[in-house]
Structure 1
Amino acid sequence: MKRLNNFIVSDTKGRMRLRVPALKNLKTAERMLEELKTLEGVRKADVNQITGSVLLEYDPHTFERRGLAHVFNEVVPHAKPLPTLSHRTKKMLRSKEMRLFENKGMLVCGLTSLAALAFKGFKLHTAAGAVFVALAALHTYRYRKNMLR
């Protein structure tokens, strides 16, 4: 059961999502779906092969996690969870430098947009937004690449 918890992305009363990269395999995904539908208390089970996730809707009064853990261990015994970023890494990725860059970019984009609208340059307004998005994506990519070295 402890192993199963590593794959649970969200769990609310009656609804659970698991992310299991091994489910990107068609045969594994089909087998998991078949097994999940046999569990007592399961109302609906969807396996998304593209994302490798399972969405499970269940009756909280009759559903038992032990049954899910058994199915999970039987279908994907050697599955490994996706690596997660540590709290420190997440904090560094949203550091002061990133926020400052984003704020400057939004300011420049906003001023360009206002100037374009004032002179009825709607195309320039759209282009300014596209340029900002592209620059932000590039900066984020470079920043993350440097932080993860």
Structure 2
Amino acid sequence: MSVTDCITSFVDGRVRLRHPALKDGATAELVSSVVGGVEGILAVQANPVTGSLLIYYDTEKLSREQLLELAEQGAAFVPGMNESAVPAEGRAEMPSGRACKACAPVDELLGFLTRRSTTKFIDRAMLVSLIASLAALPLGSRAVHTAAGGVFVSGLLQHLLAHRKAL
């Protein structure tokens, strides 16, 4: 599926695209931030509910052809963009040599790590490890302090991942 297949509206200065991959909030956010960083793009609005992306661009800096060319190049790196219309055996490979479907385990892991139940469990583990780390200091147990601190930092990384949108 090419980017032109996803375009639902295209007037000078404004283009709207719809694709099922954009219904994933993380993918919509990723695409929105990448597109927003392109010179000549004035504003980007992603809507994960409808799976659409509205792009406002400066016609003095970007022509329709340039915008479409950039979109086609960038679509190869967006998770899920090649999956809805092309069968698995016919998917194009990314420049790294791995097919888009190879990203599925990573997406599954990210989904697990950002799940509410996982976040609640890790938040509790962070509290316990912080208490254990601080309690180990006056007792002189450097090994316990270090191990508990490592658990706390690991939990902090997951916490930042789960709440990255709010940061």
Bigger Rg over Cα: 1
Relative contact order, CA 8 A, sep 6+: which one is greater?
1
Q: Given the two structures, how large is their TM-score scaled by the length of structure 1?
A: 0.49
Q: Given the two structures, how large is their TM-score scaled by the length of structure 2?
A: 0.44
